[in-house]
Structure 1
Amino acid sequence: MSNNIQIATWSDLTTDPTPEQTVLHLLDELEGGRDAYDILAVQRAYRQSVESTLPAELSLRGSDFYGPPSQHHGYTALNLHHSALDEAMWGPFEGHDDDAFRGDHHFQQIAAPYRITPATTRLLYATWPTLAGEESVEVTVRAALSVYGRTHVEALADSGRYDFETLGRAVSGGFGSDEDVTEVAAAYRQSITDALPDGYELEENLLYGPYPRREVDHKTLHKALIKKAVNLDEVIAAHLGTPPRELWSADQVAEAIGASSTDSARRTLSRWDVKAADYRPHPNSGRAQALYDAAQVRAAHATRPGRGARTDRQA
C-alpha cells in the first residue's frame, strides 16, 4: 500500500469534482430532491459504500483514487482498475444490463435510510474529522494522553498508581492504555454533548443537531463549544485521578508577580527561563495565547535574584 500511486481523480470518472457533489446531483433526481434527505448523512454513507467496496489494494482519499502502479506494458493503472472503480461507485454489475438503472438503483438503496419523514427530529451536522481535523475522538484523545503524560510525569508519579515502566512510557510520549483511551473518549464525548446547545449531541464521531437544520459554521462550533467549553486535559485528569496543571495567562502572571504590564511579565518570565507550557484560544479574541505553568512561575518568583541571598551579585 505504501507504494500506491494516484490512479484517478473523481472527476476523471464523473462530471463532478467530488463524491459529495455527485450525491447532490443524484439526490436532485430522486422524488423530493435533496431537501427530502439528510444530505450530510447520505454523503457520508455513499463515501463509505465506495470505500468499503473497493478491492483491498485500492483506496479513496478525498477525491482521489490510489492503487498500485501498472505492471503491464501498454496499460495504465486506471485501465486495469477501471471496472473495480466503476462497481464501487455505481453498484454491482450482476443483474443490471442498463448501467444508468444500475447506478440509480444502487444510490437509492444507499439514500433510502436517510429520507426525512414526519418522525425525523434530528440530522447529521458534522463529523469529527470536519470539526477537529482528526479521524476520530479516540485519535484526539490518544494524542492528548501522550502530551499529558510527558507534561505531568511528576503528578503521575506522586499519585502512586503507576509503575516505573508506565512512567517511562509517559516520558517518551507513549502514555495511555487502550482502556484509558476508551474511557476518556467516552467522558470527553459526554462533556462535549453537555456543553452543546439543546438538540445537539455527539455520538461516536458524528455530531447530530435539530431538524429543521440550523446554519452552523463548523470552525466556530469547534472553537466556541469544544475548545473553549471543554478542556480535554481536565477530562483526562479526572479519569486518572491526578490534578491538572494550573495554567496562567500573561495577565495572571503579571498580577501574581507584581509586574506593571503583561509585556513586563513576559520579559521577566524570559529572564527567568520560564517558557509557555501551552497555547490555547483566548476566550474573547479566539487567538492563540501563551499559558504558563503556575507552579513554575511561583518557583521562579520565589528564587528570583534579589529575594533572599543576592545570587545575582555573587561573583
Structure 2
Amino acid sequence: MNTSSHPAPAPAPERTGARDGGYSGEIRASWAEFLNTLPVNARILDIGLGNHVAALVAAEMATTGTRDWRIDAIDPGGMQADAQSSAGKAVAKRINFHANANLARLPFDNASFDAVCAHHAIEFGDTSAILAEVLRVLKPGGDAQFLLHHADSPLLVGARMSLREADLVFTKTKAFRRVHRLVTMHQIVPNSTEHASNEVRMVIRTLKRGLPVAQQQGGGRVLAIALDGIQKVLAARRELKPDAAGLNVDRAEAELRGSVRRLGELVAQARTDEQMRELEKKAAATGFSQIERVAQLHGGEPIAWQLLVHRA
C-alpha cells in the first residue's frame, strides 16, 4: 500500500465536464496517486455512482506506458460511465461496465481485484456490508480507496443553506400551495379571490426579501428558482384554464422538491470527523489493515474525505 505522504493541494477541483467525468485538481490527483501504485497487469474495480471518475482516470492512465489494466465498474443505479474524458470515448470503452449491481453483493469471485475504488458511493449504502464485500473481492495484498463527502465542504455548506431556503418556501410560506389555490379558482369570488391574491403577494414579498440575504451568504438558488417558477405560473395563468394552471404549479413544485430531496440525502450521508473515526473502526473490524485517512483540501477548506485500506 502507498504509505508516502500525500501531495500538496493541486489547483481547484474544477467541474469542467471536459475530462474524467468533470473532475480535475485534487480529486483527480488523489485517484491518479492511488492508481499509480498498481502493477502493470492490475485488475481494478470501481464501485461508484454516476460518472465513475475513478474508472475514467484509470482508463486514461492505461492508455499510456505499458499498463495492461483490466477495469470493471458497477453502479446500482444502472448509469453508464461518463464518456466525457480528455482522451475521448475510446477511454470509456476500456471499462467493462456492470449495470444495476448491488454494492453489498458484488457480482465477482473472491480475490478478483488488485484495487477497489469508490468515489462518493459507500456513504450511500450499508457501509459494513460494502466493506465486507470489498474485502472479499480484493486479492491478498490489494488496496482500496474511498472518497466520501465531507460534512464541512463548501458543497455541503451550500446544501444546508438550500435546505433552509426550502423550509421557507415549502413550510413557512407554503408558497406553491397558496399559488395553487389562487390559480385554480374557477370563478372570481370577491372576498376569497382577494384574500388568495394577497396571500400570494405576501409570499412573493417574503421570498424576495430573503433572496439577497441568502445570496450574501453564498446561497439563494432555491429561493430564486421558487420565485421564477411562481412568476412564470402567474404569467401563464391568463392563457390557461384553472386546472391546467394548477398542473403547472404542481410540476414546478415537484421539480423543486425533487432537487431538495436529493440535497437532503447528500446532507444526511456526508461524514463528520467523528463519523469517519467510526468508519475506520468498521474497516478494522472487517479485517482491513494499514488504514489511513486524510481530508482532501482546497484553499484550506475540506472538499472530501480520502480513506485508504489494505487487505493483508
Same fold (TM over 0.5): no
Question: Of Structure 1 and Structure 2, which has the larger fraction of its residues in strand?
Answer: 2
> TM range, normalised to the smaller chain?
under 0.3
